[in-house]
Amino acid sequence: MLQESEALKLQEVIELCRHRSNFTDMLHHAEELTEGTKENRLLVGLHSYALTACTDALRHLHRATEAIAKGQHALSFARDYGIETEEAITLNAIGNAYNMVGQPEQALTYFLQGLEIEERLNHSERKAGILHNIGTIYRYTQPEQALEYYNRALGSIPENPVTPFKGIILRSLAEYYVGYGDYSSALNYAYQALDFFDTYGYESHVPIIRNIIGLVYWELNELDNAESVFLQSLELCRTIQTPFALRQVLVMLAHIYSEKRHLDEAVKYYEEALEVTDEEDYTSKANIENGLAAVEFYRENYDTAEKGFRRVLEILAIDNKDPGLEAVAKQMTARCLLVKKTNTEEAHTLLTSALEKAKTINNTPIQLSIRDNFDELFILCGDYKQAYENHVEIRRLVESMRDEAARDVLERKETELKEMERTKQLALAKERENILNNILPEEITTRLIQGENPIADHFEMVSILFMDIVDFTYLSSKISAQQLVHLLNNIFTAADGVMRKFGMEKIKTIGDAYMAVAGAPVVQEDHAHRAAQAALKLLDVMQNLVVTFPESYGERIWIESIPEIQVRIGLHCGPVAAGVVGENKFLYDLWGDAVNTASRMESHGEAGKIHVSEEFRNAVVSTSSTAATLATDTTATPHLEFIERGEIEIKGKGIMRTYFLERPDGNG
């Protein structure tokens, strides 16, 4: 039985294996964790996690039947103990396993159950993963619905994701567009996925994306470019050991060399691909065996080729997820018989079956190729009437391919227009959010978007800064409204930059007064130090601020008649209430006696000085020993000096002991 510390370390190892797509080791460690936690009732959460991890690993290893059985056990356990997180993850894993065994309807029921839980738990990334999986179910049967789910999934990903789901969704969009011949969009999404996986360190996913890029070149018949991309991918696969991507790249290189008739090279890669293919991955095994049989056909070893194609059909009889491959294998078996001019009756049966299979998946190119073989068969048998009728069907298929190509162009254009509209709407939504973030703190914007209103928080201790312009009334009487607004904009923009630098939140401006806070809406233990440093920097900036006025603002003789701009700054700390109220023209604001006192510190201060309360001074002094560890590089605490001003009468507060904050060498 594992101790908790041992179990947690094992969990870290499992997640590392998952991150590296090393699912064989992931399964081994998940089984070890399952066994080590099953007797310890204090570790039911870890036991539930282990069962779910086993399910997911089995699914990735293409052991779908085992994954379903293990998943049902994991699901029962999670439900018995009310562990909703593992329940949702398990439902997703079971859904994937059912999809692998060709039961998409059953898969969909599990995905929808998992989606309901993830929406309730508000886990946006796992929700995105399930939306993506639903899209994958619809990819070949309802492509527009698939695209809708993929885009919903992408829209659910937060700005700073912690899982690879965003890259996986981008990858699926790339694969989607490859399948529909829109190679420009495919490459666009593939390179976005590549950038995401590189940025966030999901190295094991990179070869899969490179393989998609190589596949685009393959589809465009640019074999040299495809070969170059796949060889780069192969080197990476061997370095980081990603079995799925390795098999994929080996098969594609073999296909390329077979197409180039570099047959020995093709066989080498096919055989290596076969070695790294899971025993129960029948579709992949059939695809590789089909490639090996094709090599023998090109070598004119027709008996060996025929045996190879029949072996493909035997494998597909066990588990067939690729009707197109079945059609090709039957067609090629028939071709071997036709070349040898033996058993034309079986050749006819095989071609007929292959044609029906190609029709079920609406694959016109395969149908056309099979019709060519029928032509050969009818001529061999001397059945010229059938040959003529077959020629008529060939012409019809060629015409339909032209029509289909035209339809594809129209559908692509329609999809592009929908995508442009969706992108436009997303951009508008993002722009609105950015505008809101300029008005409100980002954390508050997020809460409002999630439907929280009113927002009301209490903070035990914050530091509040007020600044105003000395002799503002006199100044405003000497200049035009346009000049005044320009001046205030320059002053407040400079102040905004200082607040951002020290991690403070601007609250509002009222006339010539500027208010900011440290310690809200996000708690900051070093709030007093941040406010002190910000105030000193603000004084420096204001004393050195140069404001220029455009010539279009008129005469500037008035500049000589006004005094140099000076500011007063006041600081105080204490408890406040904070929040957003109302439904229109949102404003994040602070309320409480601490706000009034900070305002009094500013109004009772002196020009060019920082006036602070005794409470603020004590907060800085009492936390100075920890300030160095709490502060970031931009807020490293300089030496501060508090010059006692003495006890003075503060309007509305009575007698207060206050201080001027300076550096040892003075504020300036």
Give the model's pLDDT for residue 328.
93
Q: How far is CA 335 from the centre of its chain?
A: 47
Give the model's pLDDT for residue 583.
63
* DSSP assigned state of 44: H
When mean pLDDT is compared across 195-204, 439-448, 534-543, 556-565, the lowest value belongs to 556-565
Between the alpha carbon of residue 157 and those of residues 123, 150, 291, the distances in Å are 10, 11, 39
Structure tokens at 88: 């949702």
Q: Is the pLDDT of residue 181 over 90?
A: no
Q: Using pLDDT thresholds of 50, 70 and 90, give the confidence band for residue 472.
A: confident
Query: Angle between the 282-298 and 302-318 helix axes, to the nearest 10 degrees?
Result: 170
Contact indicator for 483, 490 with CB cutoff of 8 Å: no
Residue 171 lies inside a defined structural domain of this protein: no
- Identify which of 244, 245, 285 has the alpha carbon closest to the alpha carbon of residue 57: 244
Within a 10 A sphere around the Cβ of 546, how many other Cβ atoms? 5
Q: What CATH number did the domain enclosing 474 receive?
A: 3.30.70.1230
Same domain assignment for residues 247 and 329: no
Same domain assignment for residues 388 and 272: no
Average pLDDT over residues 518-539: 92
Q: Using pLDDT thresholds of 50, 70 and 90, give the confidence band for residue 287.
A: very high
Give the model's pLDDT for residue 330.
95
pLDDT tens-digit map of 305-363: 999 999 999 999 988 778 889 999 999 999 999 999 888 999 999 999 999 988 887 77
Residue 565 lies inside a defined structural domain of this protein: yes
Domain tally, the chain = 4
Whole-angstrom distance, CA of residue 89 vs CA of residue 434: 33
* Residue 93: its H or E element: helix 84-100
Structure tokens at 2: 């594992």
Give me the residues paired with residue 508 across strands: 515
DSSP 166-178: HHHHHHHHHHHHH
Give the model's pLDDT for residue 437.
55
Average pLDDT over residues 105-125: 92
Within a 10 A sphere around the Cβ of 201, how many other Cβ atoms? 9
Residue 436 lies inside a defined structural domain of this protein: no
Residue 248 lies inside a defined structural domain of this protein: yes
Same domain assignment for residues 234 and 378: no
Give the model's pLDDT for residue 255.
95
Q: Using pLDDT thresholds of 50, 70 and 90, give the confidence band for residue 407.
A: low
Same domain assignment for residues 335 and 242: no
Give me the residues paired with residue 646 across strands: 658
| End position of a domain, from candidates 74, 102, 122 | 122
Same domain assignment for residues 514 and 636: yes
When mean pLDDT is compared across 76-90, 262-276, 449-463, the lowest value belongs to 449-463
Task: Pick 465 or 178 by higher pLDDT.
Answer: 465
Q: What is the dihedral of CA 567, 568, 573, 576, to 10 degrees?
A: -70
Average pLDDT over residues 462-491: 86
When mean pLDDT is compared across 13-17, 122-126, 204-208, 318-322, the lowest value belongs to 318-322
Q: Is the pLDDT of residue 71 over 80?
A: yes
C-alpha R_g of the chain: 35
Residue 273 lies inside a defined structural domain of this protein: yes
Average pLDDT over residues 266-278: 93
Q: Is the pLDDT of residue 626 over 50?
A: no
Whole-angstrom distance, CA of residue 511 vs CA of residue 230: 64
Contact indicator for 549, 483 with CB cutoff of 8 Å: yes
| End position of a domain, from candidates 405, 423, 449 | 405
Same domain assignment for residues 291 and 267: no
Phi (first) and psi of residue 147, to 5 degrees? -60, -40
Q: Is the pLDDT of residue 497 over 50?
A: yes
When mean pLDDT is compared across 72-86, 474-488, 644-658, the lowest value belongs to 474-488
Contact indicator for 398, 368 with CB cutoff of 8 Å: yes
Within a 10 A sphere around the Cβ of 441, how many other Cβ atoms? 19
| End position of a domain, from candidates 122, 157, 181 | 122
When mean pLDDT is compared across 419-428, 479-488, 559-568, the lowest value belongs to 419-428
Task: Pick 320 or 597 by higher pLDDT.
Answer: 597
Average pLDDT over residues 451-470: 88
Whole-angstrom distance, CA of residue 503 vs CA of residue 547: 25
Same domain assignment for residues 218 and 298: no
Give the range of the structural domain holding residue 339, as residue numbers without chain letter.
Answer: 285-405
Average pLDDT over residues 48-64: 91
Q: What CATH number did the domain enclosing 219 receive?
A: 1.25.40.10
Residue 37 lies inside a defined structural domain of this protein: yes
pLDDT tens-digit map of 182-225: 888 899 999 999 999 888 888 888 898 999 999 999 988 899 99
Whole-angstrom distance, CA of residue 90 vs CA of residue 103: 17
Give the model's pLDDT for residue 193.
93
Same domain assignment for residues 210 and 358: no
In a 3-state reduction of DSSP, which class is residue 605? coil
Q: Is the pLDDT of residue 450 over 80?
A: no
Same domain assignment for residues 325 and 266: no
Q: Using pLDDT thresholds of 50, 70 and 90, give the confidence band for residue 402.
A: low
Residue 506 lies inside a defined structural domain of this protein: yes
Same domain assignment for residues 271 and 316: no
Between the alpha carbon of residue 552 and those of residues 57, 398, 482, 487, 549, the distances in Å are 69, 70, 10, 15, 8
Helices (H), 479-579: 481-501, 527-543
Phi (first) and psi of residue 562, to 5 degrees? -110, 150
Structure tokens at 357: 């299979």
Phi (first) and psi of residue 395, to 5 degrees? -60, -40
Q: Using pLDDT thresholds of 50, 70 and 90, give the confidence band for residue 433.
A: low
Burial-class residue 382 by CB neighbours within 10 Å (0-12, 13-18, 19+).
exposed
Between the alpha carbon of residue 9 and those of residues 4, 33, 44, 317, 557, the distances in Å are 9, 10, 16, 44, 74
Residue 439 lies inside a defined structural domain of this protein: no
When mean pLDDT is compared across 64-73, 152-161, 189-198, 428-437, the lowest value belongs to 428-437
Same domain assignment for residues 276 and 289: no
Same domain assignment for residues 581 and 617: yes
Amino acid at 654: G
The HSE-up count of residue 305 (CA atoms within 13 Å, CB side) is 22
Give the model's pLDDT for residue 557.
65
Average pLDDT over residues 388-401: 80
